[in-house]
Amino acid sequence: MSEIDRKTSEEKKVFDSAESNTTTFQTTEAKIYPSESRNTFYDKSPEAEEGFFEKIVNDFKPPATGRPDGVGLKRKLKNRHMQMISIGGAIGSGLYVSSGNSLADGGAASVIINYSLTGIMMFFTIYALGEMAVAYPVAGGFNTYASRFIDPAWGFSLSWNYFINYFVTFPLELTTCAITFRFWTDINSAAWISIFLVTVIIINLLGVRAYGEVEFVLSFIKVIATLGFVILAIIIDCGGVPTDHRGYIGGSIIKHNSFRNGFKGFCSVFVAAAFSFSGTEVIGLAAAETDNPKKTLPKSVRQIFWRIALFYVVSLLMIGLLIDPEDPNLMGNQSGTSTSPFVLAIQEAKIKGLPSVFNAVIVISVISVTNTSTYTAGRTLHGMATLKHAPKLFVYTDRLGRPLIAMLVVLAFGFFAFINEANKNGNDISDTVFNWLLALTGLSNFFCWGSICLSHIIFRIAFKKQGRSLNELAFVSPMGIWGSCIGLIFNILCLMAQFYVSLFPLGGKPNANDFFQGYLAAVVAIVFFVGYKIYDRRCIPNLSQLDLDTGFHSAEFYNSFDGSENEPKKEKGVFKKTLEFFC
């Protein structure tokens, strides 16, 4: 056997192992462990005799199944968790705070157009991800698909780029949590960082179910707050607030300087809009911990439409109607939530008490992003280890299905947030450090989303080339391969816009510092790709020979799992088909 064939065989075994660790369903469990309850892998009989503290200690140990690397991730995320995560998962500081900078840079028209275009890109991308995640619900998600359908070297590069993105984001979001409290008090930021860090550590140690419950509650609050703001904004715009001296506003503000800084301002908003949607793809990672991907993932994917239409486009349209892009308060203190256009809109209407309430919502949203960052980074590192793209020790999962070692590494990096105390001496060392750390992964979202679309395109072409029918798929993206092509083109345009803004920064002249802070991630990705390619010299496999069976979960498999194969099929009307498409 040649060296290339040996590596291909080894990777197939690794993918098989990852799949068996993360996609064993209840019917399979019943055959392997007949004495266990559903959704449980380890022998529970000894636990009945364990004391409370003894059980806590033992839960960190490997399961009693003879597998030293653990049992794999647990399928603890229910339908309601996935629905709320999909709706509120990407609602955070990108919408509530950074949109203010976008408004000041490009004007209201640029904000609305670019967020709409980016939303269309995400609409196509997430549908493609949903199709693959239902067919292959494995650890690592889209990073695994990139390794399998595009190139192992690109999958390696993408995985590390994506991991570092959320790994670095964790301490940065902890810092943001502390900064939000400056709206009320000047208490030392280190105190708030400590509180939030301990909170996130506790949530993660409680397991994926705790993550799901916390995200369910926090996302619900964000959704209600955003809906409430839209209603309030309509009232303010129509002159329905007695304390607002402006009276009826209508479209008088949005018409003023709606395109600021010309084409350069438009491009800068395009990039910022894309970053605001970061985290949308997390539902693909969560597929490995969802109790029934066939039911939960399609519903979560369909919620993307409402998130784009209502929570981004409509809310930002209302911001454009209420806030002048030249408002000095909008760019007064870019590090604090006082610059949030949502809080500013309420303040300018002179509604007492409500600005503090919405600032509390921003705090909650940042906590949610922090929680998601740790979940994503830990699961990504665990997924990379299953593909041998990271040290083997990160494969370990404990008795509760937590990727313990990977999770602890991510949580430990949260203490890096305390570097902000270095600023007390009058220097900006923490800002410099964080800026360059973020520069390492500044293009991570575009690499990720573009890879999802390209993986889906290759998957579909190979599926057709091998004579397979789409009827084998449990969930089919209604946009098909053309939707992924459009999504890929949009991602390429985002990379071009980022290159232009990095080379010609807004309000400044071309310089090496701004360029590399905006485009250093591309250099890092290329280095990772080339380095792994030298190590693993396999060519891209022929589409007619591409392995589509390993880890594949067909519609027939899901039907036998949930019993729907015995249910009579009903013809769906136009209304029901339309409703299912969006809901």
Q: pLDDT digits over 387-424, tens only?
A: 788 888 888 887 767 788 888 899 999 888 888 766 65
Write phi, then psi, for 571 (nearest 5 degrees): -75, 125
Average pLDDT value for residue range 535-562: 78
> What does the alpha-carbon distance between residue 423 and residue 429 come to, in Å, rounded to a whole number?
6
Whole-model pTM? 0.81
- The answer to whether residues 487 and 525 touch, using CB atoms and an 8 Å cutoff, is no
Total domain count, the chain: 1
DSSP-assigned states of every residue in 43-103: --GGGGG--HHHHHHHTTSPPTTS-TT-------B-HHHHHHHHHHTT-SHHHHTHHHHHH
Instruction: State the pLDDT at residue 140.
Output: 59
Residue pLDDT, tens place only, 490-522: 999 989 988 998 888 887 788 888 888 888 888
Average pLDDT value for residue range 283-295: 65
Among 11-15, 62-66, 216-220, the range with the most confident prediction by mean pLDDT is 216-220
Instruction: State the pLDDT at residue 484.
Output: 93
Instruction: State the pLDDT at residue 337.
Output: 44
Sign of the alpha-carbon dihedral angle for 382, 384, 390, 396: positive
Instruction: State the pLDDT at residue 88.
Output: 58
Mean pLDDT, rounded, of the chain: 77
66 within a domain of the structure (yes/no): no
Average pLDDT value for residue range 251-265: 85
How many Cα atoms are found within 13 Å in the side-chain-facing hemisphere of 206?
Answer: 13
71 within a domain of the structure (yes/no): no
350 within a domain of the structure (yes/no): yes
Question: How many of the other CB atoms lie within 10 Å of CB of 475?
Answer: 20
57 within a domain of the structure (yes/no): no
Average pLDDT value for residue range 571-580: 57
**Residue 374 reports pLDDT greater than 90:** no
Average pLDDT value for residue range 117-139: 85
Residue pLDDT, tens place only, 304-336: 777 777 778 889 999 999 998 888 877 654 444
Among residues 245, 173, 233, the alpha carbon closest in space to that of 410 is found at 173
64 within a domain of the structure (yes/no): no
Give me the domain span that covers residue 116.
3-43+77-582
Average pLDDT value for residue range 195-220: 82
Among 85-99, 204-218, 481-495, the range with the most confident prediction by mean pLDDT is 481-495
112 within a domain of the structure (yes/no): yes
Residue pLDDT, tens place only, 144-169: 888 888 988 998 999 898 888 888 88
55 within a domain of the structure (yes/no): no
**Residue 569 reports pLDDT greater than 90:** no
Between 56 and 479, the higher pLDDT residue: 479
Between 186 and 325, the higher pLDDT residue: 325
DSSP state of 290: B
306 within a domain of the structure (yes/no): yes
Instruction: State the pLDDT at residue 296.
Output: 72
What is the CATH classification number for the domain harbouring 203? 1.20.1740.10
Between 353 and 186, the higher pLDDT residue: 353
